[in-house]
Copies of this chain bind each other. A is one copy, B any other.
Amino acid sequence: MAAAFHEFELIEWIQTRCPAPPHDLRSIGDDTAIVQPQAGRELLLATDMLMEGTHFTFPPATPELAGRKALAVNLSDIAAMAGEPHSALVSLALPRSRGAEFAKSVMQGLIDLAREFHVEVIGGDTNTWDGPLVINVAVMGMAPSLQSITRSNARDGDWIFVTGALGGSLASHHLTFTPRIREATLLRQMVSLHAMIDISDGLASDLQHITTESGVGAVIRSEQLPINACLSTELTEAERLQKALSDGEDFELLFTVSPEEGQKLLEQNPLSIPLTHLGEINSGQGAFLEQTDGSRVSLERSGWQHQL
């Protein structure tokens, strides 16, 4: 039987492991956290819920990796806006049978990633039940006013870029990916980002979020897709392409810039990860894939979508 303990003890344990917040911020242990906004900075707010059996399973996940992923997917949303993460609220539905050490391990994985990205865990809610683990994180970020990068500002002629490699997340990196916070900041400092999104549903689906929200069309070229080298060599080329287009949870950044800025990025990639020019935004409608023979196929929303 796993060791039982009480909610208040878990909260105290979490408090001891979360670095004291700066003076302007009241944290865990009151009805709400208090944050003093900074002049000239916008607030970015996002939330994601992860459920055992859907977003992770034990194994291959460990409790630490489940906690880590719950924060990482939220940081990826802040990265997609080119923001700087600030603080997080963490809610847990803990399986009663797994006891106290399990709960601490989940929080430890989350807190370790929070430290790496200077995020304060400023509040939350702990519960137990007989169901599986559910973790919800709500994250707050900040960005200089009017410098958040939305999905809706892609322009005719823009070049489309993606960071890193695509496909095969579930088999390789969905528990361990690095949210592209630093990369988004470096990109914003070097070029004028027009539209940006993180790839959570899959490239095909997320590109269509940009085209729909921006009222534009897009063409990307199959031969330029940075297909993840970790994909099984037993797959056919068509299967690998399909995975790079539609596997979810790559959490890479998909963005558009002017051709001039795009040229600059190709000549001098400021990141320590690959940066790939996939195609262009046009004034049409819909997103298309140009195949090696020059033919174009519509990119249906083939990304991961929850069937209710």
Contact = CB atoms under 8 A, between A and B. Distances in A.
A23 interface: no
Interface in A93-128: 93-94, 96, 99-100, 103, 122-128
B37 A91 contact: no
A89 B47 contact: yes
Interface stretch (A6-14, A273-281, A287-295): A6-14
Contacts of A134: 49, 51, 93, 134
Contacts of A231: none
Contacts of A48: 91, 125
A31 interface: yes
B31 A128 contact: no
A78 B30 CA distance: 11
Contacts of A33: 44-46
Given A93-B134, A138-B138, A122 B30 contact: no
Contacts of A29: 151, 213
Contacts of A90: 47
Contact of A32 (B44, B99, B301): B44
A124 B123 CA distance: 18
Given A30-B151, A96-B308, A127-B306, A42 B51 contact: no
A77 interface: yes
Contact of A123 (B5, B46, B93): B46
Contacts of A222: none
Interface string A4-41: 11111010000000000000001001111111111101
Interface of A: 4-8, 10, 26, 29-39, 41-49, 51, 53-54, 77-78, 80-81, 83, 87, 89-94, 96, 99-100, 103, 122-132, 134, 136, 138-141, 145, 148, 150-152, 196-198, 213, 301, 305-308
Given A6-B306, A26-B150, A128-B308, 8 more contacts: A31-B77, A31-B196, A34-B43, A35-B45, A37-B41, A47-B90, A93-B134, A136-B136
